[in-house]
Amino acid sequence: MQNAKLKFMSFLLVTMFSLGAINYSYNEKILQFPCVDRSYSTSFDKNPQDNVRYGDSEKKIIKNYEKREGILEVLANIYSVRQKFSEKTYVYPGGDLIGIDLYTDGIICVEFEDLKAGGEIISSPAKKAGILHADIITHVNGQKVDSADEFERIISDLAQDICEVTIKRKDVMLKKKVGIVKCDDKAKRIGLWVRDNVMGLGTISFITQDREDFAALGHPISDSSTGITVPVKNGELIGADVLSIVKGRKNHPGEIRGIIRKTDELKATITQNSEFGIYGKIISDKLISDRDLIELAPRSEVHAGDAKIITTIDNERKEYDIIIEEVYTQDEPATKSMMIKITDEDLIEKTGGIIQGMSGSPIIQNGKLVGVVTHVLTGDPKRGYAIYSEWMIKKCIGCQNTTASANGK
Domain around 388: 2-43+84-103+197-401
Specify the DSSP class assigned to residue 237: E
Residue 339, amino acid: M
Same domain, 150 and 243: no
Read off the CATH number of the domain in which 147 is found. Answer: 2.30.42.10
Residues of the chain short of pLDDT 70, as ranges, are: 1-86, 397-409
What pTM value is reported for the model?
0.75
Cross-strand bridge partners of residue 213: 281
Length, in residues, of the chain: 409
Burial 282-295 (b: 16+ CB within 10 A, else e): beebebbeeeebbb
> So what's the pLDDT on residue 289?
76
Is 344 known to be catalytic?
yes
Tell me whether the omega of the peptide bond preceding residue 34 falls within 30 degrees of 0, making it cis.
Answer: yes
Catalytic residue status for 375? no
The residue from 135, 155, 190 where one domain ends is 190
Q: Which of 124, 222, 224, 359 is catalytic?
A: 359
- 56 lies in some domain: no
User: Any catalytic annotation for residue 219?
Assistant: yes
Co-location of 97 and 219 in the same domain: yes
Say if 144 falls within a structural domain. yes
Same domain, 136 and 234: no
Task: State whether 166 and 250 are in the same domain.
Answer: no
Of 142, 166, 190, at which residue does a domain stop? 190
Residue 152, exposed/middle/buried by CB under 10 A (0-12, 13-18, 19+)?
middle
Residue 99 is predicted with a pLDDT of: 92
- Which pLDDT score is estimated for 301? 96
Query: In whole angstroms, what is the distance from residue 355 CA to residue 375 CA?
Result: 9
Within 13 Å of residue 381, how many CA atoms lie on the same side as its CB? 22
pLDDT of residue 59: 53
219 and 181, same structural domain?
no
Q: What are phi and psi of 209, to 5 degrees?
A: -60, -35
Under 8 Å between Cβ of 266 and 98: yes
pLDDT digits (tens, 9 = 90+) for 320-367: 999 999 999 998 888 899 999 999 999 999 999 999 999 999 999 999
Residue 228 maps to which CATH number? 2.40.10.10
Do both 95 and 225 map to the same domain? yes
CA torsion 200-205-210-213 (nearest 10°) is -30
Q: 96, 205, 219, 224: which one is catalytic? A: 219
Report yes or no on 64 lying in a domain: no
- Specify whether 246 is located in the same domain as 365: yes
- The Cα–Cα gap between 394 and 24 comes to 35
Which is the catalytic residue, given 37, 96, 344, 361?
344
Q: What is the SS3 assignment for 117?
A: strand
Name residue 163's amino acid. C
Task: Flag whether 65 is in a domain.
Answer: no
Q: Is residue 257 within 8 Å of 331, Cβ to Cβ?
A: no
pLDDT value of position 21: 30
Give the three-state DSSP class for 87: coil
| Closest by Cα among 309, 334, 312, 310 to 322 | 309
d(CA 278, CA 99): 12
According to the model, what pLDDT value does residue 41 have?
24
Asked if residue 359 and residue 237 are part of one domain, the reply reads: yes
- Identify the domain boundary among 190, 223, 250: 190
The total number of structural domains in the chain stands at 2
Do 387 and 335 contact (CB within 8 A), yes or no? yes
Considering the domain architecture, whether residues 203 and 184 belong to the same structural domain is answered as no
| β-strand pairing of 294-296 with 368-377 | parallel
Q: Phi and psi at residue 304, in whole multiples of 5°?
A: -65, 140
